[in-house]
């Protein structure tokens, strides 16, 4: 009988912990959406010459969409873009290759 009471209490604590985690993640997602909406309303846009696909980098650990943290040219003049995951703080660096406008596709 004592073990059953302990198990019930343990399960209740686990459910409460999962619920708090879920609520925190939902609040974080709402805050990110509001932030994006306010940036667009104020006219804060990234460079117009870049592809929108650059924004679609997903974290390999938690599958969350990563945000561009910084971009800098390398020694060859190609851009190196650094992404950071908002959930797990993982950093990914990607070298961007641009096609020349003079070459056919």
Q: pLDDT tens, 24-42?
A: 777 878 877 777 766 555 5
Give the C-alpha distances (Å, rounded to integers) separating 90 from 36, 50, 79, 85. Answer: 21, 23, 20, 5
CB 31 within 8 A of CB 37: no
- Cα separation, 62 vs 65, whole angstroms: 9
pLDDT of 8 over the 60 cut: yes
Q: In this predicted model, which residue has the larger pLDDT, 78 or 36?
A: 78
Look at the pTM and tell me if it is higher than 0.75: no
Q: pLDDT tens, 43-71?
A: 555 444 456 566 678 888 888 888 888 88
């Amino acid at each position: 009988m004592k073990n059953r009471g302990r198990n019930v209490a343990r399960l209740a604590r686990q459910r409460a912990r999962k619920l708090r985690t879920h609520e925190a993640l939902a609040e974080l997602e709402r805050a990110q959406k509001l932030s994006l909406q306010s940036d667009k309303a104020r006219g804060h846009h990234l460079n117009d010459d870049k592809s929108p696909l650059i924004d679609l980098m997903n974290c390999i650990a938690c599958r969350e969409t990563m945000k561009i943290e910084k971009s800098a040219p390398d020694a060859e003049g190609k851009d190196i873009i650094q992404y950071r995951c908002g959930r797990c703080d993982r950093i990914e660096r990607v070298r961007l290759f641009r096609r020349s406008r003079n070459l056919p596709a």
